[in-house]
Amino acid sequence: MGQLVVNGLALGSIYALVALGLLLIFNTVQIVNFAQGQLLMLGAFIGISCAVTHELPVAAAWAITMVAMALVGIVFMVLVYFPLRGRPAFLVILTTIAMGIVLENLALIIWGPLPVSLPSPVHGPPLRFAGVVVSMHQLFIFATLAVTLLLQFFFLTKTRFGILMQATAQDLHTARLVGIPVNRTIAVAFAFGAVLSGIAGLLVAPIFLAEPTMGGSLGLKGFVVSVIGGFGNLPGAVIGGLFLGLIETFGARYISSNFRDAYAFIVMIAVLIAWPRGLFGEKSSEKV
């Protein structure tokens, strides 16, 4: 039971990180990026290229990956967001899905289909108490989620740039009129959103291995989390993520492992029927 909680939370933390990356982009430009999972995969593979193929230290691999992902985020914005500004949501959804397909297949061409592992940045024997095992990497995942959450909260509410970002989300047009460097703000949002999914990828690869097709299902879980928590809601994303991780592991253990993926969706649909904008409400400016 205790073990299920630990593993459920570790899995949930990954979901939460994916959702946090989605949130950063959503909060700025009100776009849900359906290629977030593929960005995660890209992060994992960039990390592997550095740490495994080129045998750089893991810390260096992390740093390079984060920088590279920031650039990827900006390229992504130029290719996907700019041409579609102000277009209906389903076109944006489809474009990001198409972008995900492109990334996944490019990765297959570049890195091949074999699963690869990435060394964890932390080492040491797992903690054991009362029969529950917590690996160092799991602790590292929890710590990363906590730090990311705090930084993101601080960034969005306490820094000038974060506030600019929120203002941009409220009303892009007005933001531009009052002299907010809108494009730069959006670029920062995409860059950070991609970096966050890159971090999630670096965290996933040591325990779950990396393969080019890994993005689809992790990305999808990130959306389920976003929906449960309410799009763009910071605590919602984290609580929703952890919640989903627990539901999946407990559902698989005590109901049936056959329908594991269904639990996420059943809970999501149930939440939406009760609260059409997620458990914690959508944080967006609804214009009547």
Q: How far is the CB of 150 from another protein (least distance, A)?
A: 25
Using CB under 8 A, which residues numbered 38 to 67 contact another protein?
Answer: none
Q: Does 151 sit near another protein (CB under 8 A)?
A: no
- For another protein, which is the closer residue by CB, 166 or 213? 213
- For another protein, which is the closer residue by CB, 202 or 214? 214
Give the number of residues in contact with another protein, rule: CB under 8 A: 79
Contact flags string 122-141 toward another protein, x per CB under 8 A: ----x-x----x-x------
Using CB under 8 A, which residues numbered 71 to 110 contact another protein?
Answer: 79-80, 83-84, 87-91, 93-95, 97-102, 104-106, 108-109
Write the DSSP assignment of the chain as a string of letters: -HHHHHHHHHHHHHHHHHHHHHHHHHHHH----TTHHHHHHHHHHHHHIIIIIS---HHHHHHHHHHHHHHHHHHHIIIIIGGGTT--HHHHHHHHHHHHHHHHHHHHHHH-S--B----S--SPPEEETTEEE-HHHHHHHHHHHHHHHHHHHHHHHSHHHHHHHHHHH-HHHHHHTT--HHHHHHHHHHHHHHHHHHHHHHHHHHH-B-GGGHHHHHHHHHHHHHHH-TT-HHHHHHHHHHHHHHHHHHHHHT-GGGHHHHHHHHHHHHHHH-TT-TT---S----
Contact flags string 202-241 toward another protein, x per CB under 8 A: --x--xxx-x-xx-xxx-x--xx-xx---x----------
Residue from the set 75, 146, 151, 269 that interacts with another protein by CB under 8 A: 269
Q: How far is the CB of 151 from another protein (least distance, A)?
A: 26
Q: How far is the CB of 231 from another protein (least distance, A)?
A: 6
- For another protein, which is the closer residue by CB, 128 or 160? 128
Q: Does 174 sit near another protein (CB under 8 A)?
A: no
Using CB under 8 A, which residues numbered 10 to 29 contact another protein?
Answer: 10-11
